[in-house]
A and B are shown apart, each in its own frame.
Chain A
Amino acid sequence: MVKVTIDGVQVEVPKGSTVLEAARAANIDIPTLCYLKGINEIGACRMCLVEVKGARALQASCVYPVTDGMEVRTNTPAVREARRVNLELILSNHDRNCLTCVRNQNCELQELSQKLGVDSIRFEGERIEYPLDDFSPAIVRDPNKCILCRRCVSVCRNVQGIGVIGVNERGFNTIVSPVFDMSLNEVPCINCGQCITACPVGALKEKDDTQKVWDALNNPELCVLVQTAPAVRVALGEEFGMEMGTIVKGKMVAALRRLGFDKVFDTDFAADLTIMEEGTELLSRLKDGGKLPLITSCSPGWIKYCEHYYPEFLDNLSTCKSPHQMLGALLKSYFAEKNNIDPSKVFVVSIMPCTAKKFEAQRPELSATGYPDVDVVLTTRELARMIKEAGIDFARLPDEEFDPFFGDSTGAGVIFGATGGVMEAALRTVAEIVIGKPLDNVEITDVRGVEGVKEAEVSLGDITIRAAVAHGTANAKALLEKVKSGEKEYHFIEVMGCPGGCVTGGGQPIVDAKQRMDVDPRVVRAAAIYQEDRNLPIRKSHENPSVKRIYEEYLGEPNSHKAHELLHTHYVPRKKY
């Protein structure tokens, strides 16, 4: 530990801490813009400048390490002036159409300019007008709002191990973009949207599809069905000022009904179905000497990553569609038949924590009935926007239940929302099928938590299943390389494209850099997911009564011909450049 004095307050912090962290410990708020804990710590924006006694000039506190006896001042006229001038310069060529910006009132630049008391722009200079890159079905890039903080570049390159956006050109012409002026749609971007949740401003955002949903809801000819992913219920509340980790399942269902959806279903039902299909696939690959390790296919970011970067593993991927696509296919077949509705009149909306699912829903192969399994994917943020626009007082809504049958789910379905959840859910079911008697403890904690790669061994009579879990594609890359070289051997691998899994997907509410210093949304939201698992009476997919019934009535058995037609898919290798 080292002792430092910041603005006269003495604090003791671990050796290796930065001045910014030490100030935090002393309850002093130093403004930041390019800093994002653990992701982008480069001292580029000069917002966090402080005076360090004995130092030659003002220092960027986010990268300045503390030393014993150091004296720091964070609030002197020189510091305030320097920060302010830097901020004004950033603002001088920023597209300041704040009122119509998706990040209005949720923007770190806006907040800073208010905090630092910027009341006019002294430097009205030249601005380059860039065209909007909105060719991707998932992510929109607006370089006019970019402040060149590099948070997106770091998350894409270092956390995801991808690097499809970089810092190009120089000086006033500097731009964060893909190579050769290409669109995000033309480069091997996996649409994970981690760049969006890292962006402090409105330079990166999801492709907004809310108007398509308003139009469908307003069309009397359509039966408009909605389904919600597990991770949405533990994060949506944040958009309405609720504490992170609040479970708002009941209010979310109520809000969707008030928006006018004909039925409100739960993707968790399809998660249970996924376990039946994928578990059976695993057992048959084990039995028949099929391609191992089996790798999960729920995360469309991961799937596109595999198609671009590891095509040699495509045969390892489970052929299961991702859960919301499975449910979409069933709604346009089973549900439509039962209710005597033409599938062309069934409109399926998926509320997802994910931007990659917008791309996924457009895949031509995901249209089992001849119509797209899912018509529109909205992110958690877009749903919040619709609820606000509709004037629904979210916090005061009563708790309501999902509609029956396709709204019935288990704890195994809900834990799909956190990294390790699919693995745990699958093992709960596979273990019982193989052993033939109920598990003593359904909680497989080895696969939980935010460690990049997790391993577990589950003994099933005469075989021991070796399982691994990776989240974030850089972790997946490290794991796959070990499998490739033969260093590691597994039967079953879960990969989620986003670090933390779906709870911190690219479509989730944005948590600003300041909050991220104190709380890890991956941990807090996952805790809510596991709480929800414990709240549910049934915690194993194969015990879901509606899942049992759909096999009896419609699908036959897991991996049947009918199941393959509706619930399974295939993959294609994709080029990089």
Chain B
Amino acid sequence: MATSVLAQDTQKFAELQMVIEEYKGQEGPLMPILHKAQEIYGYLPLEVQNYIAEQLGIPITDIYGVATFYSQFTLKPKGKYKIGICMGTACYVKGAQKVLDKLQEVLNIKVGDSTDDGKFTLEATRCLGACGLAPVMVINDQVYGRLTPNDIEGIIAKYKDE
């Protein structure tokens, strides 16, 4: 492996070890360990999954199967700003697809991916519950409503410069 995720940050690794130690003997340890591991690292890379597998004495495929089954787990690092564009019915009808197309163009990434500089992750979400503002997107906890494709460049520029 080119760079070792585990060796890179000894503090994170110590945290992971503590989490595994805490849940190891308990029934159904995998889900809580994966949740905490994702909190620590932001995602679940191969090395982390392999380490958990070895510590729990189970094949890594048991872990990877769970990590890819639940959408809350991610295998790729997320950007500093998570952009969620709502693709629920109301937003979709109000033109969310065009807003999404523009986001992909401006960020130069596809849905589900992150920018190379680690700043942005683009995701399409289910209904965010703000249908009155459709089409809606959230950037971390900030909500943007009644969007048009023309708004996108300006909004992204604000975060880029930060």
Q: Which residues of A contact B (CB under 8 A)?
A: 153, 157, 162-170, 178-180, 576-577
Contacts and interface: CB of A to CB of B under 8 A. Distances in A.
A576 B50 contact: yes
B68 A164 contact: no
Contacts of A169: 68-69
A8 to B, nearest CB: 43
Given A576-B50, A577-B50, A179 B60 contact: yes
B11 interface: no
A162 B46 contact: no
24 contacts: A153-B61, A157-B59, A157-B62, A162-B59, A163-B60, A163-B62, A165-B61, A166-B59, A166-B64, A166-B65, A167-B65, A168-B64, A168-B65, A168-B68, A169-B68, A170-B69, A178-B61, A179-B49, A179-B60, A179-B61, A179-B64, A180-B46, A577-B47, A577-B50
B155 interface: no
A499 B65 CA distance: 26
Contacts of B143: none
Interface residues of B, number: 14
A577 B65 contact: no
Say whether chain B's binding surface is mostly helix, strand, loop, or mixed: helix
B106 interface: no
Contacts of A179: 46, 49, 60-61, 64
B46 A577 contact: yes
Interface string B94-120: 000000000000000000000000000
B31 interface: no
Which 5 pairs of residues, A with B, have the shortest CB-CB distance? A163-B59, A166-B61, A179-B64, A577-B50, A166-B65
Interface string B31-64: 0000000000000001101100000001111101
B49 A166 contact: no
B61 A164 contact: yes
B75 interface: yes
B149 to A, nearest CB: 29
B110 to A, nearest CB: 16
B60 A577 contact: yes
A168 B50 CA distance: 16
B66 to A, nearest CB: 9
A166 B59 CA distance: 9
Interface in B62-90: 62, 64-65, 68-69, 75
B162 to A, nearest CB: 33
